[in-house]
Structure 1
Amino acid sequence: MAFAHQVLCSLLGFALLCLAMDRHHEDAFGRAPSRRRQQGLRALAVLAGLASTWTLWGRADWGLAWAGWSAQLSLGALPVVAVATWRARWLPAASLCAAATAFLLSLGRWG
């Protein structure tokens, strides 16, 4: 469950960073983002990135934990690249699905 949570948080973070870019935001929503929206998306992306490291804390094997986390970052980025490339309009919905699923996993795991 921790693996899925990390991948979903990584996916969410990359999707939010992607949507904070003018070109991708315009592809997804049909208009460029406002400065305030861009900053908000970037801030949420940082929070999602920090949430993806949640399961690293308290582990004895830090080397393996960081290596696994970097692999999970790559797994989270791959679907974002695919969706942003071929179906940019689906990116906001994919972000919401990833956020909701990660939240539900966090409730089941740590709640």
Structure 2
Amino acid sequence: MLAAGLLSYAGFSALCLAMERHHQEMLGHRPSPSRKVQLRMAGWALLALSLWVSVLSAGWAMGLVRWTAVLMGSAVFLVWLLPYRPRWALALAAVGLLLGPLAAVAHW
């Protein structure tokens, strides 16, 4: 469940960075149109990967329930963190991107 949480947080952060306002706030410049598309694709791919990890670890029935809970938790955490510490949100997304696959591999 940790791996799914880290991956979903990173996915939501990528989707967040695909928006001009948040990209400007976190990185200091506006994203190019191609960068927006890349960030959107990466965000949805990370969310799909978190679903896959969750279903593999708990089966379809409980995996979907756990994935929904993880999605809500990571989204609330990101929304809470963005107005106060946007740089921390970006750093935690990088940590989630690095440690999420490691946690998934360590589970098996």
Partner residue of 2:42 out of 38, 41, 44: 44
Moved over 2 A (4+): 89-92
Tell whether 2:27 aligns with 1:29: yes
Q: What is aligned with 1:92? A: 90
Query: Is the Cα–Cα contact under 8 Å of residues 28 and 90 in structure 1 kept in the other structure?
Result: no
CA distance in 1, matches of 2:9, 2:104: 15
CA distance in 2, matches of 1:71, 1:92: 22
Number of residue pairs matched? Answer: 106
Indicate the percent of aligned positions where both proteins have the same amino acid: 29
Following TM superposition, by how much is the alpha carbon of 1:11 offset from its aligned partner in structure 2, in angstroms? 0.5
How many angstroms apart in 2 are the aligned matches of 1:28 and 1:102? 22
Q: By how many angstroms is 1:77 displaced?
A: 0.9
Q: Provide TM-score, normalisation by structure 1.
A: 0.85
Q: Report the Cα offset of residue 107 of structure 1.
A: 2.5
Q: Which runs of 5+ in 1 are unaligned?
A: none
Letter of the aligned partner of 2:48 in structure 1?
Answer: L
Q: CA RMSD in A?
A: 1.6
Q: Distance in 2 between matches of 1:76 and 1:88?
A: 15
- Deviation string, structure 1 residues 9-42 (Cα, Å, up to 9, x no partner): 1111111111110000010011111111111111
